[in-house]
């Protein structure tokens, strides 16, 4: 395996751009894949995230495209990506490594106007980077013809399958010419992907630089026990952020989009530099948030799994899994945002009592133990901080507990069985639990004088039965 990019067979324009970008030695996936791709062989690349998979197909593609020119609405190469963020990241790689070329490129993703995309397509593009859904929209509009595609790249194939893009991919591939070069890259390899490769690739070369679904050795992984209560869990996260050594920036992953926004607001209220990134945001807001994080204007990025594979920021120091991922493969991709390009990284996963089954699946997948972090009373904060976390003082519940309801019913039952008396009953309030309700609120619910509420009622109760009067009817009334 060569130790330099110049020994891989790349053109001088490409190697000059790589050197200018500050890279001198190819990664293992790049050293093994690039020579085969320059020979125009089909290839299956399996490698953990953060190992340089994108450059392993961008660099040889730039070398191949130096010969020939694009025609209107007929791209020469097609790269399919599962998310808008990852598609934009690949486009940045083409701009960085292709600065010595005069190649045209178009990005076909959601959130960008069709008009801007159509202008580029009408002029002709050498490289087309797209998400499957938006690409099919443009094909149906008659704006793209794929019969001139020479190279096809299916990136993050396992994520494509997880997101349900398999049918869209088949529709797209069926429109491509049979004589083409196809590359498929993935972090994991299962039976469904094997079926996909047999259908779309011809005699592919297999390149696997690490065991499928493994995690990088440069990442220090830890598990943190937390409570299932949201406020205590958020307090545990803040405690861990403050205690983290060498934290320069961090990505915090949540399973649900609504939790992303809630957690980001909570961190902001506590004085942290935090932003949110999830699928319901419009494209402009997502790109602005990503740019702020990349340029260190944001320290913490709270994200859903839509960003787990779409971010290529080399200097992320920490990853926090606020929620244990439901799919074990997502754990590999989440923590792969740190410890990239040989750097050290740290990943903390917060485990609530109900997360046991998901954690077992992750440990089985990565085949590596993860140590627990010893944190006494993790996640427990005083009540004042918990209330501040919600942004407002909590109001007492308006719903009675079973115990308080029982207290208000039993005295009425005892009074009902006793003979009627004209002597006034003591107005001493019934003993109540101060933790459940305020005294003034309880006094409005309970009768001041029992005989005032029942002396005019029928002998067998208000509903024709001899049972106790319901508590909600025992309200004080004003008598003349």
State whether 203 and 223 are in the same domain.
no
State whether 89 and 24 are in the same domain.
yes
User: What are φ and ψ of residue 126, in 5° steps?
Assistant: -80, -40
Number of domains in the chain: 3
State whether 237 and 128 are in the same domain.
no
Query: CA-to-CA distance for 446 and 471, rounded, in angstroms?
Result: 8
State whether 33 and 164 are in the same domain.
yes
State whether 170 and 251 are in the same domain.
no
State whether 300 and 424 are in the same domain.
no
State whether 351 and 265 are in the same domain.
yes
Query: CA-to-CA distance for 66 and 75, rounded, in angstroms?
Result: 14
Name residues of the chain where pLDDT drops below 70: 1-2, 48-50, 70, 210-214, 306-312, 341, 375-475, 477, 479-480
State whether 376 and 452 are in the same domain.
no
pLDDT value for 1: 57
pLDDT value for 459: 44
* pLDDT tens sequence across 222-256: 999 999 999 999 999 999 999 999 999 999 999 98
- 361 Cβ partners below 8 Å, 6+ apart? 328
pLDDT value for 396: 39
Task: For residue 157, give its domain range.
Answer: 6-208
SS3 16: helix
* pLDDT tens sequence across 61-112: 999 998 877 677 789 999 999 888 889 889 999 999 999 988 889 999 887 7
* pLDDT tens sequence across 323-342: 999 988 889 888 988 887 67
Give the predicted TM-score (pTM) of the model.
0.61
CATH number of the structural domain spanning residue 369: 3.40.50.300
pLDDT value for 480: 63
């Amino acid at each position: 395996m060569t130790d330099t990019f110049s020994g891989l067979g790349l053109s001088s324009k490409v190697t000059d751009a790589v050197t200018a970008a500050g890279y001198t030695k190819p990664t293992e996936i790049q050293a093994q894949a690039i020579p085969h791709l320059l020979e125009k062989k089909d290839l299956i690349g399996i490698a953990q995230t953060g190992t340089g998979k994108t450059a392993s197909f961008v660099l040889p593609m730039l070398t191949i495209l130096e010969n020939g020119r694009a025609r209107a609405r007929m791209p020469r190469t097609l790269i399919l990506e599962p998310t808008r963020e990852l598609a934009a990241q690949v486009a940045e790689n083409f701009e960085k490594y292709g600065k010595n070329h005069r190649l045209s490129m178009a990005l076909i993703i959601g959130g960008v106007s069709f008009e801007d995309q159509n202008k580029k397509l009408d002029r002709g593009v050498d490289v087309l980077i797209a998400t499957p859904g938006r690409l099919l929209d443009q094909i149906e509009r008659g704006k793209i013809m794929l019969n001139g595609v020479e190279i096809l790249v299916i990136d993050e194939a396992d994520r494509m399958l997880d997101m349900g893009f398999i049918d869209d991919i088949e529709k797209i591939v069926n429109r491509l010419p049979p004589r083409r070069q196809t590359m498929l890259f993935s972090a994991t390899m299962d039976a469904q992907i094997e079926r996909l490769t047999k259908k779309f690739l011809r005699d592919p070369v297999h390149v696997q630089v690490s065991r499928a679904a493994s995690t990088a050795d440069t990442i220090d992984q830890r598990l943190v026990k937390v409570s299932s209560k949201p406020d205590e869990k958020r307090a545990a996260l803040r405690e861990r952020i403050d205690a983290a050594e060498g934290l320069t920036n961090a990505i915090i992953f949540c399973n649900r989009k609504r939790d992303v926004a809630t957690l980001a607001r909570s961190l902001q209220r506590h004085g942290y530099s935090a932003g949110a990134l999830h699928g319901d945001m419009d494209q402009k807001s997502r790109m602005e948030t990503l740019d702020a994080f990349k340029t260190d204007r944001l320290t913490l990025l709270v994200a859903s799994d839509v960003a787990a594979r779409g971010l290529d920021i080399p200097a992320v120091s920490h990853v926090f899994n606020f929620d244990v991922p439901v799919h074990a493969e997502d754990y590999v991709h989440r923590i792969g945002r740190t410890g990239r390009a040989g750097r050290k990284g740290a990943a903390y996963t917060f485990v609530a009592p109900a997360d046991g089954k998901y954690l077992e699946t992750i440990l089985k997948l990565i085949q590596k133990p993860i140590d627990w972090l010893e944190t006494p009373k993790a996640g427990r904060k005083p009540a004042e901080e918990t209330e501040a976390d919600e942004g407002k003082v909590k109001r007492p519940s308006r719903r009675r507990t079973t115990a308080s309801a029982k207290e208000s019913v039993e005295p009425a039952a005892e009074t009902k069985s006793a003979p009627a008396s004209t002597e006034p009953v003591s107005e001493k309030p019934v003993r109540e639990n101060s933790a459940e309700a305020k005294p003034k609120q309880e006094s409005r619910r309970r009768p001041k004088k029992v005989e005032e509420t029942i002396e005019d009622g029928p002998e067998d109760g208000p509903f024709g039965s001899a049972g106790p009067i319901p508590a909600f009817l025992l309200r004080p009334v004003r008598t003349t």
